[in-house]
DNA sequence: TCTCTGTGAGTGAGTGATTGCTCACTTTGC
DNA sequence: GCAAAGTGAGCAATCACTCACTCACAGAGA
């Protein structure tokens, strides 16, 4: 047999690139096959459908990222430290794997109906940490849904700004600024 | 003659609804014709192509919104007041015309390459106001691109949260909270 | 008042291109 | 020799768009 896992890796890699470049709808199965250097039929030895490929790429990396956020945050005691860790992880991820990051951002909207509100969800991770901080009195009581979306907005919108050249790379240089902005926006007293 | 402008209005109204519901790519010209109660060919009496329809809807409303933001902000003196006016206008717009607001958000990504960085652009409006505030010493010096995207993130991400049920409507109830969060995030000393 | 007529609005079956996907087949390597 | 991996022409479905045609109606002329 030839190395199937290597072929699979190539499909995944090229698919991410093309999806980000042309969008999911703008990428045909022929494009995918050609970019991966395989025949169109081979795609279907590895994935049941184009949609299954998109969903596999999204759900796998989305959950992995959520787990990494949880792991980083759990090593910190205070809310300020947890938040700083999460923001830093976001920035590091964007700088290290911009294609993957952008794919998760663009696929999110079309995949959102299938996303469950569990711990595999970065949004839920942030919201849980905020709820805990409120419980501990580290930040004022406030709707956790609003607070979580504000924090994500402070992260995602600058990321989009980076993609479209409105913000200068690398993203990581703004990690402290953004973390501080999040703390202030949530009304923390402990910010630097 | 029959009333062409009425037909055009119906096309625009139904197109917005369908584009938000199913996405632009997920809406066919047959869908559009059926929803508007006309034949498919009639679409092409009013628009050169499906893409022209999308672009017309986007560019018109995008620019109108930007002008409204500029008008509201120009009535205020201080940066804090301008920002509050902009945030309030955003929230009001979302509550009053959620379908149109959501269309502008979703179409932005596919229309972004065609968007010019002029005063018809809400992003540019916010960035200009921030630059002025820095020049006046109302907020600390900082990269305006980053600052503008942070403010927009504090507005757009909660709006997305509203769409997906993570935040409770109406949006306007959070206007003051968000405006204050923006001021704090930008390092203003004048926030309440 | 009544017809005639020019024209812009509206129609929908049809077209060619493209799409995601299939399957009978070949190649590869154990 | 056999099973897994790979192939690519071809299929059915769908798409945006076209075009020869009909319709509605305002104004002109009788």
Distance CA B180, CA A71 (A): 31
- The count of other CB atoms within 10 Å of the CB of residue A132 is 14
For chain B, give the mean pLDDT: 94
**pLDDT of amino acid B116:** 79
Q: How far is CA A73 from CA A63, A89, A98, A117, A140, in A?
A: 15, 10, 22, 19, 20
Q: Please write the tens of the pLDDT for every residue from B56-79.
A: 999 999 999 999 999 999 999 999
**pLDDT of amino acid B1:** 62
User: Assign residue B187 a region: left if phi > 0, alpha if psi is -120 to 50, beta otherwise?
Assistant: left
Q: How far is CA B28 from CA A134, B6, B107, in A?
A: 47, 21, 16
Query: pLDDT by residue for chain A (192 residues), tens digit each?
Result: 678 789 999 999 999 999 999 999 999 999 999 999 999 999 999 999 999 999 999 999 999 999 999 999 999 999 999 999 999 999 999 999 999 999 999 998 877 777 877 878 999 999 999 999 999 999 999 999 999 999 999 999 999 999 999 999 999 999 999 999 999 999 987 544
Q: Please write the tens of the pLDDT for every residue from A28-48.
A: 999 999 999 999 999 999 999
> Which of strand C's nucleotides are less than 7 A from any protein C-beta?
7-14, 18-24, 28-30
**Closest-approach nucleotide to residue B32, Cα vs C1':** D16
User: Assign residue A165 a region: left if phi > 0, alpha if psi is -120 to 50, beta otherwise?
Assistant: left
B181, A177: Cβ pair inside 8 Å? no
A164, B110: Cβ pair inside 8 Å? no
Q: Are A99 and A93 in contact (CB under 8 A)?
A: no
A35 touches strand D (CB under 7 A): no
**pLDDT of amino acid B111:** 76
- DSSP per residue, B61-129: HHHHHHHHHHHHHHT--SHHHHHHHHHHHHHHHHHH-HHHHHHHHHHHHHHGGG--SSTT-HHHHHHHH
Q: Please write the tens of the pLDDT for every residue from B177-192.
A: 999 999 999 998 754 4
Instruction: Label residues A167-184 b or e (16+ Cβ within 10 Å = b).
Output: beeebbebbebbbbbbbb
| A166, A169, A183, best to mutate vs chain B, most B CBs in 10 Å | A166
Q: Please write the tens of the pLDDT for every residue from B9-61.
A: 999 999 999 999 999 999 999 999 999 999 999 999 999 999 999 999 999 99
**pLDDT of amino acid A179:** 98
Domains of chain B plus CATH, in order, are 1-47 (1.10.10.60), 55-185 (1.10.357.10)
Nearest protein residue to the C1' atom of D15, measured from CA: B28
Nearest in space to A24 (alpha carbons), one of A52, A66, A59:
A52
Q: Are B91 and B175 in contact (CB under 8 A)?
A: yes
- The count of other CB atoms within 10 Å of the CB of residue B143 is 18
Give the rounded percent of residues in chain A with a pLDDT score beyond 70: 96
Q: Are B63 and B120 in contact (CB under 8 A)?
A: yes
User: Assign residue B56 a region: left if phi > 0, alpha if psi is -120 to 50, beta otherwise?
Assistant: alpha
């Amino acid at each position: 047999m030839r190395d199937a896992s290597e072929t699979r890796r190539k499909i995944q890699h090229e698919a991410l690139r093309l999806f980000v470049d042309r969008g999911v709808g703008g990428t045909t199965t022929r494009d995918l096959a050609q970019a991966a250097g395989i025949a169109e039929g081979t795609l279907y030895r590895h994935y049941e459908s184009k949609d299954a490929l998109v969903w596999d790429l999204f759900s796998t990396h989305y959950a992995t990222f959520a787990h990494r956020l949880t792991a980083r945050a759990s090593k910190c005691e205070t809310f300020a430290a947890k938040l700083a860790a999460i923001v830093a992880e976001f920035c590091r991820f964007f700088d290290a794997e911009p294609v993957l990051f952008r794919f998760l951002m663009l696929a999110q909207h079309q995949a959102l109906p299938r996303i469950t509100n569990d711990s595999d969800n970065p949004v839920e991770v942030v919201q849980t940490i905020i709820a805990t901080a409120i419980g501990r009195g580290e930040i004022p009581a406030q709707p956790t849904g609003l607070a979580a979306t504000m924090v994500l907005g402070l992260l995602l919108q600058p990321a989009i700004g980076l993609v479209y050249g409105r913000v200068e790379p690398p993203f990581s240089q703004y990690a402290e600024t953004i973390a501080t902005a999040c703390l202030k926006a949530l009304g923390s007293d402990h910010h630097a």
